[in-house]
Every structure is written in structure tokens, then in C-alpha cells.
Amino acid sequence: MSLRTELLKSVWYAFTSLDTEKSGKVSKSQLKVLSHNLYTVFNIPHDPVALEDHFRDDDDGPVSSQGYMPYLNQYILDKVVEGTFVKESFHELCWTLTAKKNYRPTGVALPNQDAFHLWCLFNYLSEDTYPLIMVPDEVQYLLQKLFTITRSEMGEMELGEVLSLEHGVSVWQFLDLVTSPKILRSISMETLSMAIQDIYKEIIQDVLKQGYLLKKATLRRMWTERWFVLKPKVLSYYVSEDCKEMKGSIAIDKDCVVELFRQVSVFNSLDLLLYTVNFRVSDESSGSNENYVV
């Protein structure tokens, strides 16, 4: 999925959440505020002149989604550069707007963070047509992953009901489905929450592997425990698993040599040689560091 397609899906939710009268149109004052917030979250220079000119008060009245698209494309999306903004903050902005209006669970209410993560997963797997829906095969895929992580099984009856959803489901129907008694059964909310987080990290954040390792650099002989996160092109390490304080990262590219280091020692070690920097990471449990060999 291209960056623009990904962003448009979330913006669509934000736009429709402002359509309080369900007329397909949003007032110019609300679109002005939304546009200003998008400028901010995307870290692009504000253009107050264009903003005021495009959304000035006149007799044209509210603006449709098609009427908003030229401004959205020219003054916002065309200026967005991947890597210069925090995607999660952008998606969270759009989620907050739409959830406030539309998330009305019929049964168990998911914690906000879990609902947000499922909403992101839904958008990632949904069709590129509006209104956004997820087809039965993708619904089954996500539910199967949830069941696998929670070590549960999806019954034939539940599977049949999912596959019978001929036209797919909206995100609000999907959130209700995840927390329905037939799906939850013996799964606790805590277990479900951990499973949602794992799937979100795998699919949305592209995390291949994560966990605590011991790290020792060449110049320092002391082993330090760090939380490591492996993605396709980078191995990052943090103070703790909340990933709030990153201590460093190692690019996994043509200049990085990764080899398993064997020696008679308390630990099995993994040497990462990057340019002139030599890192060694190890797991106290023998052999598990081999999962980080790429």
C-alpha cells in the first residue's frame, strides 16, 4: 500500500466524522481546523494564506469530500515526506475524531489503545474503495492470527459466520466481532490485548523480532541489558520495552556484517560489525539470540 493510499484512508475517517448531518459535506470552519492539524502532525510548513483563501466564508456552504480533495492533495499530501513525521500520531489524530462519533460497541468495549490498533490493522487490510470495508478472507486472516497468538482455536461455526459475510464488514462491525462472546469465549481481555499489540507490531510497525538482550561494545567491557527491536533494515535498542528512550540503532545493510560468534563463555554472543563499530549482543538463555541472525 502506498503512503498516499494509507494516509487517505485515515483522512477519510476524519472527514466523515465531521459530517454531523450525514449530508456528505463538512463546514469550511471545521475543514480549516482539520487542515491546520494535518499541517502540524505531518511536520510541513503551514500556508495560512492558502488556508484562509480556500476556506473563506462565502455563499458556497459546506464542502464535499471531492471538493476538499484538490486542497488536500496540493497543499498537504503533496508535501508529505515519509520519515519526517510520526505516522502513529497522524493515525491517532484521525482515530480520535472518528471514534468519538462512531465507536459505539454493542457488547464489550475495547480499551482505547486496543481499538485504535485494530482500526489501524483494519485500514491496512481493507479494500481501497469507499466506504472502507474488509472482505471475509482478511477478517478470517486477522481472527486466525488472534487465535494463534492466544493459543485458541477458531470453531467451524465461527469460521462459517465470518465467511458468510458476503459484502465484508465496516471497522465498527469488525470491532464488535472481535469482542463478541463467540470469539472471546475463554480468552481474557488481558490476553486479547497482548495479542492485538503483537499483531500491530508485526503488521503495522514491521517488527520481525523483539526482546531483551545483553549488549557489550568494544570499548566497554560491561554487559548492559537492552530491549532490542529487529526490523527488516535496522536493529534498534532501547532502555526498556516501552521503547520511549532509544539508545542506538544499527543499520542492516551492505556495510553490516552479521555472524554468530562461538566461544567458551557464559553467554552465546552475536557480533555485529558496522563500519568501525563492533557490537556484541547476547541472550542469557542459550541459543535464543540466534533468532536475530539475518
What CATH number corresponds to the domain at position 250? Answer: 2.30.29.30
Domain membership of residue 28 as a residue range? 3-87
Of 56, 87, 118, the residue at which a domain comes to its end is 87
DSSP state for residue 129 in the 8-state scheme: S
Of 146, 168, 203, the residue at which a domain comes to its end is 203
pLDDT band at 277 (very low <50, low <70, confident <90, very high): very low
Residues 186 and 213 in one domain: no
Of 183, 203, 223, the residue at which a domain comes to its end is 203
- Whether residue 125 lies inside any domain: the answer is yes
Residues 29 and 112 in one domain: no
CA pseudo-torsion sign 164, 170, 176, 177? positive
Residues 176 and 216 in one domain: no
Residues 183 and 238 in one domain: no
pLDDT at 2 over 50: yes
Strand partners, 209: 230
Percent of the chain topping pLDDT 90 = 38
Closest to 13 measured CA to CA, from 94, 101, 69, 114: 94
Q: What does the pLDDT read at residue 294? A: 42
pLDDT at 264 over 50: no
Domain count, the chain: 3
- Kindly report which listed range (39-48, 77-86, 192-201, 282-291) carries the lowest average pLDDT score: 282-291
Which three cell numbers, joined as nine digits, stand for 207? 517488527
What is the value of pTM for the model shown? 0.79
Q: What does the pLDDT read at residue 21? A: 84
Residues 232 and 256 in one domain: yes
Which three cell numbers, joined as nine digits, stand for 32? 480549516
Give 61: exposed, middle or buried? Use CB within 10 Å, 0-12, 13-18, 19+. exposed
pLDDT digits (tens, 9 = 90+) for 85-110: 999 999 999 999 999 999 999 888 89
Task: List the CATH number of the domain containing 21.
Answer: 1.10.238
- Whether residue 25 lies inside any domain: the answer is yes
Distance CA 66, CA 179 (A): 35
Residues 50 and 111 in one domain: no
Alpha helices in the chain (DSSP H): 3-18, 28-41, 48-54, 65-71, 87-102, 112-125, 136-149, 156-163, 171-178, 181-184, 189-203
pLDDT at 12 over 90: yes
pLDDT band at 196 (very low <50, low <70, confident <90, very high): very high
Distance CA 13, CA 224 (A): 44
Grid cell 477478517 is found at 139
Grid cell 494535518 is found at 38
